[in-house]
Structure 1
Amino acid sequence: MFFDDERSNRLRPEILTELVGQYLNDAERARFLGLPATTRIRARAKIISPEHLRLGEHCWIGEDAVLDASGGLNIGEHTSIGVGALVFTHSSWLANMMLENHPGSDLIERTPVTIGKGCFIGGHAVIMPGVTLGDFVTVQPNSVVAKDVPERCLVAGNPARVFQRYDEDYIKAEAERVRAENARRREITITPWGSPAGDFT
C-alpha cells in the first residue's frame, strides 16, 4: 500500500506532522512545528519546507493558509497571515511549458519572499514569488501581490496596487479610537480584557 521510494519516504514525515497537528491547539501546534513560542497557527495551515521559514515573534497564521518556504520565506514580528492566504516562493510554469513537470525537475524556479513586521495579509490573498512587503503593510482579502510593496501601505486588487499610505499619526489615532471603544464595551459587559463581541449600539 505504501511506496518505498525516496520521494515517498521524504514526504511521509510531513504528512504525519500535519496529521498530528490537527489534534493540537494553536500554541501547541506552533511548538510542535518548532515555531516561536508566541506564534499562533490555526488548524489546517500548511508550511512547505519549514526549514527555510524565518518567523518573528507574535505572528498569527490562519486556517488553510499555505506558506511555501521552499525558496526562502522571512516573516517579521507581529504579522498576521489570513485564512486561506497563499504565499509562494517557487514556480513550476517553465517545467510545465517544457513538459518536464516531474519531481526534482531543474526547471522549478525558487525565489525568496520577505514580509515585514506588523503586516496584515487578508484572507485568500496571494503573495507571488520574489515579492518583498515592507513593514506595516496591509494586503486586503483576495488580492494578488506580484510586485514589491513599500512600508506603511494598504494594497488591494489583482494585481494589487497601493490605495493608501499610512503615517504614524494616523495609526496612533486609529489605535486610540479602537482602544476607547473596547474600554467602553468592557464597562457594559463582563469581559475582563480584549475586544468584546456583540451589538453595543
Structure 2
Amino acid sequence: MSSISLSLRLRAAVNRLRRRLWRALFFRTLFGEVQQGRALPLTRISPSACIEHEDRLVLEDDVFIGHLNFIEASSGIRIGRGTQVTNFISIVSHSTHRSVRVAARLSGVPEAAADGSLPSDIRAPIDIGAHCFIGPHSVIEAGTRLGKGCLVAAGSRVRGEFGDFAVLAGNPAQLVGDTRTQDARWLAEHPEYRAAYASWAGQLPTA
C-alpha cells in the first residue's frame, strides 16, 4: 500500500487537470488565420503571443509564432512564408531608449506628436524573409532586414541588414555561417528533398 495520502493524490489530480485545461485554452496553437482579407490556412499564432499594432503586421502563409512572444509592429513588420518565430522572442519596430534621456518634457522642446512619438524615438520597419528560423530568447530590433533562409541562434540580439541564408549568433548578432552548408550535408543523405528545396532556395553552392 502506497504511503501517499489521499489529499496529496487529489491535489495532484486537480493540478494535472488545471494544467491540461490551461494548455487547451491558452497554449494550444491552431492552424488558420485571416489577415486583411487574405486566407492564411497554414499560419499558426499562439494565443499567448502579445501582438501590438496587429494591423501593421503582415504575414505570408505557413508562418509559426510560438508561445510568449512580444511583437510590436507600430512601424511595420513583415514575416515571410514558412518562417518560424519560436518562443520568448521580442520583435520590436520602435525603441524609446534614447527618448528616456532626451524626451521633450526634459529638454523643453515641443511635446510629442499626436501619435505619442518623439523625434528622439527610433522607428523603422522590420522585414524577415521566407523560411527563416528565430531561436528562443532572441530580440529583433527596429530596422532589421533578414533575407530568406536565415537562422537566428537562441539568445541573439539582431540589428541591421543580413542577406539570404545567414546564420546569426551573439549579442550583438554577427554573421557566423551559411545555412546552406548544413543543408547540403543533410540533402546529400536525403536527395528526395532536393527538388523542393531548390524550388525556393535555388541551387546549393558548389563549393
Q: 1:146 and 1:63 mapped to 2: Cα distance?
A: 23
**2:33 corresponds to:** 31
CA deviations on 1:11-44 (whole Å, 9 max, x unpaired) are xxxxxxxxxxx5584226x538777221111231
CA deviations on 1:32-80 (whole Å, 9 max, x unpaired) are 8777221111231111101111111111111111111111101100000
Q: Pick closer, same or farther for the CA change 1:164–1:37 going to 2, 3 Å.
A: same
Q: 1:22-171 residue pairs with structure 2 within 5 A? A: 23=26, 25-27=28-30, 31=33, 36-100=40-104, 104-107=116-119, 108-167=121-180, 170-171=182-183
Q: How many residues are paired up?
A: 158
RMSD: 2.9
Q: Pick closer, same or farther for the CA change 1:139–1:97 going to 2, 3 Å.
A: same
Gaps of 5+ in 1: 1-21, 181-201
Q: Pick closer, same or farther for the CA change 1:32–1:76 going to 2, 3 Å.
A: closer
Shift of 1:172: 4.7
Partner of residue 174 from structure 1, selected from 186, 189, 194 = 186
Shift of 1:114: 0.3
Which is strand-richer, 1 or 2? 2
Q: 2:122 and 2:46 mapped to 1: Cα distance?
A: 29
Q: Pick closer, same or farther for the CA change 1:128–1:178 going to 2, 3 Å.
A: farther
Q: Pick closer, same or farther for the CA change 1:93–1:155 going to 2, 3 Å.
A: same
Letter in 2 for 1:45: A
Shift of 1:173: 3.8
Shift of 1:178: 7.4
Length-normalised TM-score, structure 2 = 0.66
Letter in 2 for 1:163: V
Q: 2:73 and 2:187 mapped to 1: Cα distance?
A: 32
State the SS of the aligned residue for 2:48.
coil
Letter in 2 for 1:26: T
| Greater alpha carbon shift after TM alignment, 100-109 vs 80-89 | 100-109
Shift of 1:163: 1.2
Is the CA contact (8 Å cut-off) linking 1:95 and 1:105 kept in structure 2?
A: no
Identity rate of aligned residues, in percent? 26
